[in-house]
Amino acid sequence: MKIGVDYYPEQWSEEQWRADAQEMAKAGVKLIRVAEFAWSKLEPSDKQFSFEWLDEVIKTFSQVGIGTVLGIPTNCPPLWMYQQYPDIVRVGPDGNRIQTGIRGHRCINSPVFMGYAKRITEQMVRHFGANPAVVAWQIDNELEAYPCSCEVCKAKFRDWLIDKYDSLENINAAFGTSVWSGEYSDILQIEPPTAYPQAWQNPSLCLDHYRFTCESVAEYAKELALTIRRDAPKAKITTNTWFCENTPDFYKLFEYMDFVSYDNYPTVSIPKDKEEFYSHAFHLDLMRGIKEDKFWIMEQLSGPTGSWAPMSPTPRPEMIKGYSLQAIAHGADNILHFRWKTATKGAEMFWHGLIDHSGVPGRRLFEFSELCKTAAKLSVIDTTEIISEIAILYSPDDAYAMKIQPQVEGMYYLEQLRYFHSAFMHYGANIDVIPPTRDLSHYKLVIAPTMFVYDKAAAENIYRYVINGGTLVMTNRSGVKDSNNNCIPDALPTVFKELIGAEVTEYDPIGSREQTITDFAGNKFTCRRWCDVLNVTTAKAYAQYEDNFYRACPAVTMNRYCSGVAYYVGTVCKSDFYESFAGNLMRQTGIPRLKGLPRGVEVTTRTNGLDDYIFFFNNSEEDATITLPKAMYSIIDSSGKDKLVLKPFEMDIVRK
């Protein structure tokens, strides 16, 4: 368990490197990440490589016991390269080349750029690959599913479509191009989505272009990973990711990586409305689920954020430490904070690090030092893992398809996933967030919200799970589209009708208007966004509507199917419904529940098979008191406790 920082030696003097190394070692830093944006320093002119300064950086920090994560700097090609080869710049949806001047402007499909990217990677690996102080390699930075409309990308996209559909005739049939007189009579007529809102454009084209961009960036990352491994076969390779404007398919992106890395910037402004999601626990569980293994945080919140937007408030006391420990609780192995010192130049000068522009150590650095001391006590959990009995299914295709065609005001793909995740956290459950095609057999409960776009393998996997005795929850907007992102001409939820034992006779997109449902026990809950009017065939009503022309119609159903059970939630409720529903599901499936947790307290358990280590994190602005069922040993305080008293954003870890 190592704590580190992101460091930019190219922005500081050599004397400052030595001073920073000493200060970092004193604070407890064990890792630095460097060079992910330093291409112009590493190759100041074509074929002229300058690695000596980076040798000195790695040596300086190694001498004080700090290892290096070395970044491949391909996110920011030098300006001389753009000048020599202007065609390597991405072309936007408007048909114009992206203006250079910040970062990330290169087209990853450009053969010229790829040649240079492989060359700098190869040169760096040959030079630094045998250095024992280099503990891992980061490819590029925050890779996205970049939409590029350059001639290279257009040609590759057209080839990709022909490979998938075999002929122009099949593409026309799959895309439904007879709408708006859009038939293609020549492959050269196929263009990527334009700058118009995607909801105005062909949804099949838009989804396939997203799939193409996801495969392109995954192939790019794979090529650089293979380049590293040719000269350093034992190298540990990753890239850093996040939920960005063009979120990639995480599962494809990390297929050839050794581990996942996430850039973690939780909010510092806790919302008063309990319906607003702010915990990053969902994101962390999703990152762990990408490879079903531990992961790294490559960038962690360190100060007020602000660069392309006005500055946020500064992290409150205990946030820097608490949010890092939260990540560890959900499976993070190592955590690097962005950044050591706040930049005094460039666009990110107000995205603050642990030390402000003054250079004077302050509260945030002192709290970070306390985190380093705490992490040193956690070697006991190095061999532990997170075992979950609950899985939530996440699909990049479903997420993007709903982005292309928003369904109703206020509705978005992740909302229902996060409602369920938050509800199970309320009872202290471990939760895996995984793709719909993973093995589900070892889960007692699987939540499959918004299975919007049909995927044959996923549907068969879900059916198989229930047939073999599993308990499943599906929701509205499932079975809506076929694999080409066209509506399926059948009663919803189409391919899942038999499984849920009901069908949708009509739906009402109510948006922000609020209505009421009542469950089987007489409990009333507020619903909004969407109302499926359900007709049961073999299912029974779990809850019914109390309003509108579909009053007394089922809103939530339960169906016994073969050896399993399938629930269907036809509406979107507020958090109290999901907490009630989750509690009932856990009781019925025999999943242990913690009752009476104060709101905002998150509980996660890691185990080594002999001992369980329970993480209690107070992710709120109020003090929290938790009475333990018996006295337990605190790893943090090295003492026995029968009660935990946690300040805001404080964590304690007890051994069960």
Q: Please pick, among 36, 43, 142, 318, the residue that the annotation labels catalytic.
A: 142
Distances (CA, A) of 43 to 55, 130, 136, 139: 14, 20, 21, 17
Identify residue 521 by its one-letter amino acid code: A
Sheet holding 431-434, edge to edge: 431-434, 390-393, 445-448, 471-475, 564-569, 554-561, 540-545, 502-519, 524-536, 571-573
CB atoms within 10 A of CB 508: 18
Q: Could you give the CA distance from residue 635 to residue 328 in angstroms, rounded to a whole number?
A: 14
Confirm whether 36 is a catalytic residue: no
Hey, which bits of 172-265 come out as E strands? 237-238, 240-241, 261-264
Contact of 570 with 541, CB cutoff 8 Å:
no
Question: Longest Cα pair distance anywhere in the chain, in angstroms?
Answer: 76
Q: Which of 36, 43, 144, 299 is catalytic?
A: 299
Q: Which H/E stretch holds residue 300? A: strand 295-300
Query: Does residue 299 carry a catalytic annotation?
Result: yes
**Among 63, 64, 68, CA closest to 5:** 68
Residues in the chain: 656
Q: How far is Cα 420 from Cα 414, in angstroms, rounded to an integer?
A: 10
**Close Cβ partners of 369 (under 8 Å, ≥ 6 residues apart):** 26, 27, 28
Q: 501 to each of 465, 539, 541, 566, 600, how far by Cα in Å?
A: 16, 5, 11, 8, 36
How far apart CA 218 and CA 145 sit, in angstroms, is: 9
Distances (CA, A) of 120 to 42, 132, 555: 8, 20, 58
The Cα–Cα gap between 124 and 129 comes to: 7
Neighbours of 476 (CB within 10 A): 26
Question: At CA 114, angle to CA 108 and CA 117, rounded to 5?
Answer: 105
d(C-alpha 381, C-alpha 333), whole Å: 10
Residue 257's CB is within 10 A of a number of other CB atoms, namely 21
What are the residues facing 334 on neighbouring strands?
2, 296
| Secondary structure in 3-state letters for 166-177 | CCHHHHHHHHCC
Rounded Cα–Cα distance for residues 309 and 217 (Å): 27
The upper half-sphere exposure of residue 241, i.e. CA atoms within 13 Å in the direction of its Cβ, equals 29
Strand 445-448 with 431-434, pairing: unpaired
Residue partners of 234: CB distance under 8 A and separation at least 6: none
Q: Looking at the annotation, which residues are catalytic?
A: 142, 299
